[in-house]
Amino acid sequence: MKRVLWILGGTILIAAAIALWTASRPVSWSEQEIAALRSLWIGSLPPLPPDPSNAYADNPQAAAFGQALFFDTRFSANGKVACATCHLPDKLFNDGLPLAQGVGTTTRRTMTIIGAAYSPWLFWDGRKDSLWAQALGPMESPVEHGGTRTQYAHLIDEQYRAQYEAVFGDLPDLSDQTRFPRAAGPVDDPEARAAWEAMTLADREIATRIYVNMGKAIAAYERLIAPGPSRFDQYVAALLENDREAMQSALTKDEVAGLRLFIGRADCIKCHNGPLFTNNEFHNTGVPAADGLPADDGRASGVDQVIQDEFNCLSQWSDAGETGCADLRFVVSTGEQLAGAFKPPTLRNVAESAPYMHAGQFSTLAEVLQHYNHPPFAPLGRSELEPLGLTAAELAQLESFLRALSGPLNTPAELLASPQP
């Protein structure tokens, strides 16, 4: 009897000692893991890449003009829609909706513009190759701003002449409304389209030049919207300085465990890599089609559109020579891997940007992680995901890590609202 007690006591003691030792052991990262953490760290964010296609990209006057345009609802069919209607600064330039609401309803979810200046491809399917060309999409989309380029040219003439001319030089005379109708553009609306086709090529180019310059000014503004450090970034900064205490106050044990999964077994870093947590390429993750919408073929159509885009980097409206357009010149334009592929969104501030995916298919992060843990067959093409086999506890850790990626913008407050005249 006594012996049994001894054995029992001894076992408990040793087990307790082992438990204590493992628990008190500081988390350690291998050299390879530290390299991965550093690559995700906001401190690794390089300076903004130049945009050779936009000669005004870093012009402060152009940015101020662009900011005014970004918030001005007059640039729409009904006087109620501006870029900021869907990209709300106080919602981290998102709108919180599964599908965006402009003049009509879009078939995709609004993306943030934070950090978009780093991406060679814009939109979920990358059908635009610069911020300025991107901005010209929603303005003539029948479900977003719903207006036309001659309407906008007249508005610039009447409301923004001085600001426009200070950056882009003299505005041509648009007063002859038989040459420049109030509503004309290459849009879906048959009347506006007919009016556009009736204009001379030279007049169309005059209107298009003004339109392009609006895009370039808006792009200059968007380039100033930058992400700021999150608790994850504080953790990495502390790790690089070997400051254990600061590491512990930056992230909890669960968050660190989630981070370890993110860069390790769950392999999220395959696609969500670099300091913006996206490689800005295109991947099929088999997200189911949204209710009531057909399956979206994503990049497969997007790449054809960008190659044919009137405003792409190689177009007459671009300021780049051929050498400035490497992404477009060497783009992969065929192959089954493009079907149903989308651009991975940044995961910075992901906790604040529900719902998720290209058509808001998932409303919580828990649903997103369920999808990654048990990936279904893709509605189109082939999903690149493999089952992860994570436990419920691990999924919770991964989620808590994603929640540690929130942080304030690194952008002055006066850029986050309509400019005061």
Partner 1 sequence: MKKQTVTVIATSVITVLVVLAAIIIFLPTLGPRYLHPLMMGDQPAPTSLDMSNSRLSDNGLYRVSWASDPSSPPLNQIHAWTIHIETAEGQPVAGAEVSVSGGMPQHGHGLPTNPQVTQDLGNGDYLVEGMKFQMPGWWEVRFDITAAGQNDTIIFNLTLK
Residues at the contact surface with ligand HEC, assessed by CB under 6 A: 81, 83, 85-87, 100-102, 106, 108-111, 113, 116, 119, 122-125, 131, 134-135, 138-139, 144-145, 218, 266-268, 270-272, 283, 285, 287, 342, 344-345, 347, 350, 353, 356-358, 365, 368, 372, 384, 398
Nearest distance in Å: CB 202, ligand HEC: 26
Token reading at 69: 């345009």
Nearest distance in Å: CB 246, ligand HEC: 25
The sign of the CA dihedral 251, 256, 258, 261 is positive
The runs of H, that is alpha helices, within 87-200 are 131-140, 149-159, 161-168, 190-198
| Residue 272 partner contact from ligand HEC, partner 1, none using kind-dependent CB cut-offs of 5 to 8 Å | ligand HEC
374 makes contact with partner 1 (CB under 8 A): no
Query: 230, 245, 251: which is closest to 408 by C-alpha?
Result: 230
Site for partner 1 in 258-297 (CB under 8 A): 260-261, 264-267, 269-271, 273-274, 279-282
- Of 22 and 200, nearer to partner 1 (C-beta) is 22
Distances (CA, A) of 109 to 94, 101, 278: 9, 9, 17
Nearest distance in Å: CB 344, ligand HEC: 4
What string marks each residue from 30 to 69 as x (binds partner 1 by CB under 8 A) or -? x----xx--x------------------------------
| Residue 108 CB contacts under 8 Å (≥ 6 apart), including other chains | 99, 100, 123, 124, 296, 358, 359
Question: Stretches 6-14, 200-208, 364-372, 409-417: which one binds partner 1 (CB under 8 A)?
Answer: 6-14
Answer yes or no: are the C-beta atoms of 328 and 314 closer than 8 Å: yes
Angle between helices 253-263 and 231-240 (to 10 degrees): 80
300 makes contact with partner 1 (CB under 8 A): no
Among 242, 391, 413, 421, binds partner 1 (CB under 8 A): 391
Nearest distance in Å: CB 236, partner 1: 15
Would you give the end-to-end CA distance of the chain in angstroms? 90
3-class secondary structure, 356: strand
| Residue 120 CB contacts under 8 Å (≥ 6 apart), including other chains | 129, 280, 327
Distances (CA, A) of 163 to 225, 259, 271: 21, 47, 41
In this structure, how many other beta carbons lie within 10 angstroms of the beta carbon of residue 12?
10
For residue 270, which phi and psi values (nearest 5 degrees)? -55, -45
Question: Stretches 10-18, 128-136, 142-150, 348-356: which one binds partner 1 (CB under 8 A)?
Answer: 10-18
240 makes contact with partner 1 (CB under 8 A): no
249 makes contact with partner 1 (CB under 8 A): no
88 makes contact with partner 1 (CB under 8 A): no
Q: What is the DSSP letter of 362?
A: B
3-class secondary structure, 283: strand
- Of 154 and 371, nearer to partner 1 (C-beta) is 371
14 makes contact with partner 1 (CB under 8 A): yes
| Residue 85 partner contact from ligand HEC, partner 1, none using kind-dependent CB cut-offs of 5 to 8 Å | ligand HEC
Torsion of CA 387, 391, 394, 398, to 10 degrees: 40
| Footprint on this chain of partner 1 (rule: CB under 8 A) | 3, 6-7, 10-11, 14-15, 18, 30, 35-36, 39, 120, 257, 260-261, 264-267, 269-271, 273-274, 279-282, 326-327, 329-333, 335, 337, 384, 388, 390-391, 393-394
